[in-house]
Amino acid sequence: MSDISPILEFLPCPTPETWIDEARKPENLAVILVDHANNELKAAQSAMAIMSRYRTGKFGRGNGQCDEQKDGPQLRIEDQLSLLNKMSRLAREELRHYEQVLAIMARRDIPYVHLGAGRYAGQLTAAIRRFEPFRLVDTLVMGAFIEARSCERFAALSPWLDDELHKFYLSLLKSESRHFRDYLALAETINGASIADRVAVFGEIEQDAIESSDPVFRFHSGAPDFPSDHS
Can you give the binding site for a second copy, defined by CB under 8 A?
37-38, 41, 44-45, 48, 51-52, 55-58, 64-65, 67, 69, 77, 80-81, 84-85, 88-89, 91-92, 95-96, 98-99, 102, 106, 111-114, 116
Task: Compute the least distance from the CB of residue 178 to a second copy, in Å.
Answer: 16
- Closer Cβ to a second copy, 103 or 200, answer by number: 103
- Closer Cβ to a second copy, 113 or 193, answer by number: 113
Task: Compute the least distance from the CB of residue 75 to a second copy, in Å.
Answer: 10
Three-state secondary structure call for residue 64: coil
Task: Compute the least distance from the CB of residue 136 to a second copy, in Å.
Answer: 16
- Closer Cβ to a second copy, 69 or 171, answer by number: 69
Task: Compute the least distance from the CB of residue 48 to a second copy, in Å.
Answer: 6
- Closer Cβ to a second copy, 9 or 109, answer by number: 109
Task: Compute the least distance from the CB of residue 70 to a second copy, in Å.
Answer: 8
Question: For the residues of 112-127, what is the DSSP string, one character each?
Answer: -------SHHHHHHTT
- Closer Cβ to a second copy, 95 or 128, answer by number: 95
Long-range contacts of residues 210-213, Cβ cutoff 8 Å, at least 24 apart? 210/12, 210/13, 210/15, 210/16, 210/19, 210/149, 211/13, 211/16
- Cα 188 to Cα 197: distance, rounded to the nearest angstrom: 11
Question: For the residues of 142-200, what is the DSSP string, one character each?
Answer: HHHHHHHHHHHHHHHHGGGS-HHHHHHHHHHHHHHHHHHHHHHHHHHHHHTS--HHHHH
